[in-house]
Amino acid sequence: MIEKLVRKNVLDFQPYLPGKPIEEVKRELGLTRVDKLASNENPLGPSPRAVSAMKKFLNRVNLYPDGSGFYLKKVLATRLKVKLENIILGSGTDEIIEIIGKTFLNPTDEIVVSKHAFIRYEMAGELMGCQIKRVPMKNFTHDLEAMKKAINETTKIVFIANPNNPTGTYVTEEEVAKFMNGLPEEIMVVFDEAYREYVTRKDYPQTLPYVKRGQTVIVLRTFSKIYGLAGLRIGYGIGKSELIGFMERIRPPFNTNSLAQIAAQASLSDESHIKRSRELVDKERKYLEENLEKMGVEFVPSVANHILLKVGNGKDVFDKLLKKGIIVRAMAEYDLPEFVRVTIGLPQQNRRFINALREVMDKCS
């Protein structure tokens, strides 16, 4: 009876399953120590400036947040050299992806995604009942040439994660320029740059110029990753004012909380924290890659703060690592059942992971 009340797309919809919290794993398995390397969080935590700013604001949380996020948007607009009306804030970029779907997608529309890209793009399309065209990757990287060829008269949006989650790969400035060249104006391109601050490659593309030229582009960025504010859920999108204006009609009025806005502003002023976080990942990525090579474990070279590993039976390895107090992410939902994804953590966490993985792989061989 109840199912008759539910929209058909919701009946068939599969929810996103986040990684298990540390405390739940401790309770379930009776462990005293658990290292969570599953959700691509910054192990250094937030900037001390962000923590200090939140503490000062705590006695004002009885008041509703600034619904427009004016002060955070003002800082971002100055930093990015755009106008306030070019920016939308979200409860993480997850919410902005959903807002994009609710604002622009009809059941007769189609979106183009990479087969192993962040699953939330497909979910946004499925929720709105539109068609999903999944384009195979090339060397675990978005094949922009193939994605462009996949566009047809019903295509509305193309989603490009750069760097991509879960593969950690990126597309270059030249590849993006070729993709954008001659693209019809009515095709929206969404560049999801959640991990951009970790990238040090010189050929990593700059996408804001497309927005500033008035092209139908939305760039997504977040405070969840290198800024260490995942628990506060704060992200933003940048696009031409006409696009953002329609999205603002859908955005809930108080979708980003006061502490998140305050912490995000403070985080933007702390370049030293970003530098430390990036240096940690660069150093520890090398450690993990060197040890994975010694163990004979295949992996996808990454520019982000996570690595995709080919381990045979991903679910089995996930379960065995979990019993040893190491939480990684099994990749079956990304159609990668032989893989797990590991977040690059603190040195001691990475060493515990390597030791635990070595024990697991030895038993599997």
| Residue 232 structural domain | 48-268
Residue 257 contacts residue 65 (beta carbons within 8 Å): yes
Q: Kindly state whether residues 300 and 340 are assigned to the same domain.
A: yes
Q: Kindly state whether residues 110 and 66 are assigned to the same domain.
A: yes
Write the DSSP symbol of residue 311: -
Q: Tell me, what's the pLDDT at 26?
A: 84
Q: Kindly state whether residues 301 and 210 are assigned to the same domain.
A: no
pTM score, two decimals?
Answer: 0.94
Q: Kindly state whether residues 196 and 300 are assigned to the same domain.
A: no
**Tokens describing residue 223:** 């405070």
Burial class (CB within 10 angstroms; exposed 0-12, middle 13-18, buried 19+) of 108? exposed
Residue 267 contacts residue 109 (beta carbons within 8 Å): no
Q: Kindly state whether residues 183 and 254 are assigned to the same domain.
A: yes
Q: How far is CA 29 from CA 22, 101, 146, 353, in A?
A: 11, 39, 45, 17
Q: How far is CA 157 from CA 103, 185, 188, 257, in A?
A: 12, 11, 5, 29
Q: Tell me, what's the pLDDT at 312?
A: 93
Q: Kindly state whether residues 238 and 207 are assigned to the same domain.
A: yes
Which of 196, 198, 241 is closest to 217 using CA atoms?
241
Q: Kindly state whether residues 167 and 245 are assigned to the same domain.
A: yes
DSSP 128-182: TT-EEEEEPPBTTB--HHHHHHH--TTEEEEEEESS-TTT-----HHHHHHHHTT
3-state secondary structure 1-45: CHHHHCCHHHHCCCCCCCCCCHHHHHHHHCCCCCEECCCCCCCCC
Q: Kindly state whether residues 213 and 293 are assigned to the same domain.
A: no
Q: Tell me, what's the pLDDT at 9?
A: 77
Which of 86, 334, 72 is closest to 211 using CA atoms?
86
Last residue of a domain, one of 251, 268, 285: 268
Q: Kindly state whether residues 276 and 319 are assigned to the same domain.
A: yes
Q: How far is CA 324 from CA 21, 41, 61, 139, in A?
A: 15, 20, 40, 32
Burial class (CB within 10 angstroms; exposed 0-12, middle 13-18, buried 19+) of 188? buried
Q: Kindly state whether residues 168 and 291 are assigned to the same domain.
A: no
Last residue of a domain, one of 268, 302, 327: 268
The mean pLDDT values, 10 residues at a time, for the chain of 365 residues are 79 72 84 93 98 97 96 98 98 97 96 96 93 97 98 97 98 98 96 98 97 97 98 97 97 96 98 98 98 97 98 95 95 96 98 96 72
Last residue of a domain, one of 246, 268, 290: 268
What CATH number should be reported for the domain holding residue 83? 3.40.640.10
Q: Kindly state whether residues 226 and 345 are assigned to the same domain.
A: no
Residue 61 CB contacts under 8 Å (≥ 6 apart), including other chains: 258, 259
3-state secondary structure 190-206: EEECCCHHHCCCCCCCC
Q: Which amino acid is residue 337, in one-letter code? A: P
CB atoms within 10 A of CB 339: 25
Q: Tell me, what's the pLDDT at 364?
A: 65
What CATH number should be reported for the domain holding residue 14? 3.90.1150.10
In the chain, the number of structural domains is 2
Q: Tell me, what's the pLDDT at 365?
A: 55
Distance from C-alpha of 116 to C-alpha of 142, rounded to nearest angstrom: 9
Q: Kindly state whether residues 264 and 277 are assigned to the same domain.
A: no
Distance from C-alpha of 342 to C-alpha of 19, rounded to nearest angstrom: 12
